């Protein structure tokens, strides 16, 4: 998936000088490292601050929210007190899990680093490994398989870049809008909106439910503003942004992405989740070429 990016870097010419493949890989790594450093030093501190404030403030604000809900007509018939106790217990359990499982999360850093090093080796020596793989296939089938895999490689790379761009657009837009509407924990909620955008439908439902709860705890006006914003953005994304960003990538159904993430994370944890969707995209291209009956 990253090889087309390296190939694009290697086509750059500066006064007759053209970067070699190792230099192209180094430049890509430097760019990724700069982006990560920018995130960790600029975006991560306010996210962690908002997360701590959210986990501390929300359980304390639930009684006030319950008092507001009790003023609604027929509120006593919906078991608001019981629901509030369940929500508060779930929040406290989530907070406890986040902090107690942090060492377990950090233990996966080694797996992610190993996956990154494997990517580097495949980008450096992948052509030789690919040629050896094709040599195992009967010569009559090699050209078709070669064309299919190269098409899959290009489409997977475009899907990765397109999905990343969609996540970035939603995350930045949501953060700015939440700041304008004075929604609490704007940075945390905006980052979550962007990250969960990789999960079709379910990700939007989870994040919008959380944002709606936070906004409603302040006022019904903020809740209405947040809902209106998301409805407008959803229509813009589906009708204008997504068709232009993802027009040349693999067309993956939402169910395919969700199942791939669940299977990948169950089989190999974080690393499995990272490679799950690209693997699903590869399978889709292979099925389109070899299994789908074309009229």
Domain count, the chain: 1
Asked whether residue 56 is domain-assigned, the answer is yes
Give the pLDDT score at 221: 85
Give how far the C-alpha of residue 286 lies from the chain's centroid of Cα atoms, to the nearest Å.
24
- For residue 261, the model assigns a pLDDT of 79
Question: Which residues have CB under 8 Å from 26's CB, separation 6+?
Answer: none
Residue 39 domain-assigned?
Answer: yes
Instruction: Print the SS3 string covering 89-124.
Output: HHHHHHHHHHHHCHHHHHCCHHHHHHHHHHHHHHHH
Do the domain assignments include residue 182? no
In a domain, 156, yes or no: no
Q: Which residue has the tokens 């995350």?
A: 171
**Are 172 and 190 contacting, i.e. CB atoms less than 8 angstroms apart?**
yes
Kindly state whether residue 115 falls inside one of the protein's structural domains: no
Percentage helix, strand, coil for the chain under 3-state DSSP, each rounded to 5? 85, 0, 15
pLDDT tens for each residue of the chain, 295 residues long: 677 777 778 788 887 788 887 888 888 888 877 877 777 777 677 777 777 777 676 666 666 665 665 555 554 555 555 555 555 555 556 555 555 555 555 566 676 677 777 777 777 777 788 888 889 989 899 999 999 888 888 777 777 778 888 888 888 898 899 888 888 888 888 888 888 887 766 677 778 888 887 887 777 788 888 889 888 888 888 777 777 776 656 667 767 777 887 888 788 776 777 778 788 888 888 888 888 766 5
**Strand locations in the chain (E):** none
The answer to whether residue 136 is domain-embedded is no
Q: Which domain does 79 fall in, by range?
A: 1-11+18-100
24 belongs to a structural domain = yes
> In the beta sheet, which residues pair with residue 17?
14
Q: Is residue 118, in this structure, part of any structural domain at all?
A: no
3-state secondary structure (DSSP) of residue 14: strand
* CA angle, residues 29, 116, 136, in degrees to nearest 5: 115
CA distances from 60 to 46, 82, 110 (A): 21, 16, 38
């Amino acid at each position: 998936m990253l090889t087309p990016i390296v190939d694009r870097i290697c086509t750059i010419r500066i006064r007759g000088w053209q970067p070699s493949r190792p230099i192209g890989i180094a430049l890509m790594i430097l760019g990724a490292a700069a982006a990560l450093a920018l995130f960790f030093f600029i975006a991560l501190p306010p996210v962690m601050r908002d997360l701590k404030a959210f986990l501390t403030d929300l359980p304390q604000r639930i009684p006030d929210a319950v008092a507001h809900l009790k003023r609604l007509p027929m509120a006593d018939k919906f078991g608001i007190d019981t629901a509030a106790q369940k929500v508060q217990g779930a929040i406290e359990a989530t907070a406890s899990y986040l902090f107690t499982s942090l060492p377990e999360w950090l233990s996966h850093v080694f797996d992610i680093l190993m996956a990154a090093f494997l990517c580097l080796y495949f980008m450096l020596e992948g052509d030789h490994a690919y040629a050896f793989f094709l040599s195992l296939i009967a010569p009559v089938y090699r050209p078709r398989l070669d064309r299919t895999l190269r098409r899959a490689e290009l489409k997977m790379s475009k899907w990765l870049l397109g999905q990343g761009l969609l996540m970035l657009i939603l995350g930045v837009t949501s953060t700015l809008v939440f700041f304008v509407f004075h929604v609490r924990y704007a940075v945390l909620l905006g980052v979550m909106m962007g990250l969960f955008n990789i999960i079709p439908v379910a990700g939007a439902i989870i994040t919008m439910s959380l944002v709606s709860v936070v906004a409603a705890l302040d006022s019904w006006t903020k809740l209405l503003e947040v809902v209106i914003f998301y409805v407008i953005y959803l229509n813009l994304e589906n009708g204008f942004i997504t068709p232009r960003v993802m027009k040349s990538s693999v067309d993956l159904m939402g169910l395919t992405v969700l199942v791939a993430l669940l299977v990948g994370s169950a089989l190999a944890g974080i690393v499995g989740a990272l490679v799950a969707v690209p693997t699903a995209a590869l399978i889709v291209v292979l099925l389109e070429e070899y299994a789908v009956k074309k009229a």
